[in-house]
């Protein structure tokens, strides 16, 4: 019976959405296959108290000052100590900037299998992890043949737990950091001055592409996004053109998103863009070319000039208030 540990990444004392998505999917799997879901929390935070509600059976916490600021070596050591002590069969880590940073290092330290960017999880005597390949054109099912595996999981690949979980008992574990000093430490973290909704956490995204014609017109996207309470995204074409920062880019070399609603404005629908957003629950495309590839992926298409549609849409949504 597999026991699945889930690393609960936190930001400012709040767990990342992907942490609870992984907890939920792990719970769905062990409900079929047997075993338990263990939430692993580093540092203080409300996350530990919430874990049971999201499907965890047990919570393990190493909460002291060592975890105030992220450090790849410290996180790796602490999680390696947890795995060595508790021996889960699988450790799930969100494929976030933090998770992508330490997961391979952790797998190497544990001599564990390492599977990145997973979007599917199954157990049939051994774990099978599904991951997209060739920019999302097809999937590979990876069978794990190792006593323990570390798997990176894409944000928004799984829904949250709907089973009404109960409180999970919590216990502390020794992260094994006594006498340890990392080789490198973060001396300062510069946060973006922009107070925008984070793309990977957003439930609604409005993205703009080269159809906007020039940088100043990205304001149309920002305005519609603000009206809809959405995050503002972008195609690589306009990021490369310097119209918006890379933090807005959606796609193969940008962020992977899976919001409830994705509105693509003046975006053609290149495979590399689709790789980052095609798992959105509902896709609306606005493009003046009725043959644009984006319409093959979209649930709703508006084949018209964005400079007419976007202001009209914005006005109509405002009128709903
Ligand atoms: C290795 C690699 C990685 C890449 N990674 C990414 C990535 O992460 N993300 C990404 O987005 N791309 C990525 N790309 C680039 C990708 O191939 C496309 O070039 C890019 O997505 C195109 O951006 P676009 O749709 O904004 O521009 P275009 O393809 O130029 O499309 C603009 C669209 O706007 C429409 N349009 C024009 N005027 C109007 C109007 N007035 N009203 C309505 N519609 C209008 C046009 O009909 C057209 O369909 C990558 C490419 C490579 C090779």
Residue range 201-240, pLDDT digits in tens? 899 999 999 999 999 999 999 999 999 999 999 999 999 9
| Mutate-to-test residue for ligand 1 from 199, 221, 238, 252, highest number of ligand atoms within 8 A of CB | 252
Task: Tell which one of 206, 267, 294 to mutate to probe ligand 1, the residue whose CB is within 8 A of the most ligand atoms.
Answer: 267
Residue whose CA lies nearest to ligand 1 atom number 18: 270
Element spanning 208, H or E: strand 204-208
Q: Which residues does a 6 A CB cutoff place in the pocket of ligand 1? A: 209-211, 235-238, 249-254, 266-268, 270, 272-273, 276, 286-289, 292, 305-307
Closest residue CA from atom 49 of ligand 1: 268
Q: Are 286 and 232 part of one and the same domain? A: yes
Q: Are residues 154 and 231 in the same domain?
A: no
- Output the six-digit token pair for 287: 């493009």
One domain, residues 125 and 214 = no
Residue 187's pLDDT band (boundaries 50, 70, 90)? confident
pLDDT bucket at 80, cuts 50 / 70 / 90: very high
In 3D, which of 264, 269, 279 has the Cα closest to residue 158?
Answer: 279
Q: How far is the CA of 195 from the centre of ligand 1 (A)?
A: 26
Ligand 1 center–CA 270 separation, angstroms? 6
The answer as to whether 247 is a domain residue is: yes
pLDDT at 194: 63
- In which residue are the tokens 């896709």 written? 283
Among residues 156, 172, 188, the one where a domain terminates is: 172
Cα–Cα distance measured from residue 279 to residue 221, given in angstroms and rounded to the nearest whole number: 21
| Helix, strand or coil, per DSSP, at residue 248 | helix
Ligand 1 atom with the smallest distance to the CA of 254 is 8
Residue nearest to atom 22 of ligand 1 (CA): 237
What tokens appear for 110 in the block?
């544990």
pLDDT score of 190:
80
CATH number of the CATH domain containing 37: 3.40.50.620
Q: State how many domains the chain has.
A: 2
Q: Does pLDDT of 177 surpass 90?
A: yes
Whether 193 has a pLDDT exceeding 70, the answer reads no
Residues 56, 31, 100, 207, CA torsion sign: negative
Mean pLDDT across the chain: 93
Choose one of 269, 276, 287 to mutate for the ligand 1 pocket test, by most ligand atoms within 8 angstroms of C-beta: 287
Same domain? For 19 and 165 the reply is yes
In the sheet where 261-265 sits, what is the strand order?
A: 231-234, 204-208, 261-265, 282-286, 300-302
- The shares of helix, strand and coil residues in the chain, as percent rounded to the nearest 5, are 35, 25, 40
Q: Ligand 1 pocket check: which of 132, 206, 237 to mutate, most ligand atoms within 8 Å of Cβ?
A: 237
Give the 3-state secondary structure of residue 250.
strand
CATH number for 307: 3.40.50.1220
Q: Which helix (H) or strand (E) holds 129?
A: strand 127-133
CB of 78 closer than 8 Å to CB of 178: no
Which of 160, 198, 208 minimizes the C-alpha distance to 27? Answer: 160
Domain assignment present for residue 179? The answer is no
Identify the domain boundary among 172, 191, 214: 172
State both tokens at 47.
């996350």
Provide the whole-model pTM.
Answer: 0.79
Residues 71, 38 contacting (CB under 8 angstroms):
no
| Cα–Cα dist 207/225, whole Å | 9
16, two tokens:
């990342």
Q: How far does the centroid of ligand 1 lie from the alpha carbon of residue 234, in Å?
A: 9
Residue closest by Cα to atom 8 of ligand 1: 251
H/E element holding 118?
A: strand 113-118
CB proximity list for 124: less than 8 A, separation 6 or greater: none
Domain interval for residue 298: 199-320
- The residue whose CA is least distant from atom 53 of ligand 1 is 272
> Of all protein residues, whose CA lies closest to atom 14 belonging to ligand 1?
272
> Residue 142 and residue 186: Cα distance in Å, rounded?
35
């Amino acid at each position: 019976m597999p026991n699945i540990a889930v690393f609960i990444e936190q930001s400012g004392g709040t767990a990342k959405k992907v942490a609870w998505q992984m907890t939920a999917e792990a719970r769905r799997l062990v409900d079929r296959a047997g075993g338990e879901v263990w939430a692993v929390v580093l540092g203080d935070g409300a996350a530990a108290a919430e874990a049971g509600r999201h499907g965890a059976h047990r919570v393990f916490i190493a909460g002291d000052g060592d975890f105030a600021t992220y450090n790849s070596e410290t996180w790796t050591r602490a999680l390696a100590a947890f795995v060595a002590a508790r021996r889960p069969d699988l450790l799930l880590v969100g494929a976030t900037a933090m998770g992508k940073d330490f997961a391979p290092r952790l797998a190497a330290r544990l001599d564990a299998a390492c599977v990145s960017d997973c979007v599917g999880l199954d157990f049939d005597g051994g774990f099978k992890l599904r991951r997209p390949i060739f920019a999302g054109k097809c999937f590979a099912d990876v069978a794990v043949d190792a006593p323990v595996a570390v798997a990176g999981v894409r944000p928004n690949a799984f829904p949250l737990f709907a089973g009404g979980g109960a409180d999970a008992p919590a216990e502390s574990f020794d992260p094994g950091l006594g006498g340890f000093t990392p080789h490198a430490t973060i001396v300062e973290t510069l946060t973006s001055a922009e107070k925008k909704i984070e793309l990977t956490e957003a439930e609604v995204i409005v993205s703009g592409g080269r159809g906007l014609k020039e940088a100043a017109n990205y304001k149309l996207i920002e305005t519609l996004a603000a009206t809809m309470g959405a995050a503002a995204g972008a195609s690589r074409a306009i990021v490369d053109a310097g119209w918006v920062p890379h933090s807005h880019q959606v796609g193969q070399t940008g962020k992977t998103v899976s919001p409830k609603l994705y509105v693509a404005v003046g975006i053609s629908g290149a495979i590399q863009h689709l790789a980052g957003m095609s798992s959105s629950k509902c896709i609306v495309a606005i493009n003046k070319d009725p043959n644009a590839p984006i319409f093959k992926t979209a649930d709703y298409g508006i084949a018209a000039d964005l400079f007419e549609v976007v202001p009209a849409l914005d006005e109509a949504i405002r009128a709903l208030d």
